[in-house]
Chain A
């Protein structure tokens, strides 16, 4: 067993264990920190697959952006250190059952399915290749979705400001 395999299984274990802890712990701040480790584990898997650009984007946007945002919102809305109320046993049981049944169904389908792979030459996912295709306007270019996403981000930015704005009392 080579070192690369050991690293893969280690990353997978970190990701899955911290994901389970993030959804089961009753301390909300710890849940955010476990989510952070889970996202870092996924970024490590992307590095392992040699998709370095995606791994960097994952770390910058998820770990540096979304988790920090979540931690801030926890500070703003929650007494830190206070435990979440205990959930009903029946609800937990049924949720676990539903999740397990769904997972069993998907896994069963997965192991029975034979995937067919392409025989074409591989394209290296380097940053220059990604940039050329991202802003390309020819066949297979992604410039239209790129523009649409930029408008979406602008709309989200304005929407956040409008939603979180304190409503001023009406001036007479």
Chain B
């Protein structure tokens, strides 16, 4: 066990990113896929903050990128959930296997 530093944070964010990717590949329910996307976005935020803290502490650009990513993630989640609820109304299901109308 050593002093936590940049590499520890990058390790956590890499692991979070690929956990999110695994969830996005295996899940077939739109709400759980959205959760995986949130995990991926959070890993990116953690990455920006880690670089800002340990490498470029004389600037605050990483911090601002994180703030804007959080704002855009909130907008994205709201629009995605509106689409999911609309889809549930027309198909009675939010499983991606059952929503094939746009496929052909």
Contacts and interface: CB of A to CB of B under 8 A. Distances in A.
Tell me, yes or no, whether A binds B: yes
Contact of B68 (A94, A123, A140, A149): A149
Given A5-B3, A84-B29, A117 B54 contact: yes
Contacts, number: 212
B104 to A, nearest CB: 23
Contact of B27 (A23, A66, A149, A157): A23
Interface string B11-22: 110111111111
How many chain A residues sit at the interface, stated as a range, is 35 or more
A110 interface: yes
Interface in B63-80: 63-64, 66-68, 70-79
A22 to B, nearest CB: 6
Contacts of B31: 28, 70, 73-74, 77-78
A110 to B, nearest CB: 6
B79 A159 contact: yes
Interface string A51-91: 10110011001100110011011101110000011010001
A73 B84 contact: yes
Contact of B18 (A35, A65, A100, A130): A100
Contacts of B8: 8, 12
Contact of A65 (B36, B56, B74): B74
A45 B72 contact: no
Nearest to B39: A19
Nearest to B75: A156
B79 A156 contact: yes
Contacts of B3: 5
Best-surrounded residue of A46, A61, A96, A163 (most CB of chain B within 10 A): A163
Interface of B: 1, 3-4, 6-12, 14-23, 25-29, 31-32, 34-36, 38-39, 42, 45-46, 49-50, 53-61, 63-64, 66-68, 70-79, 81-86, 88, 94
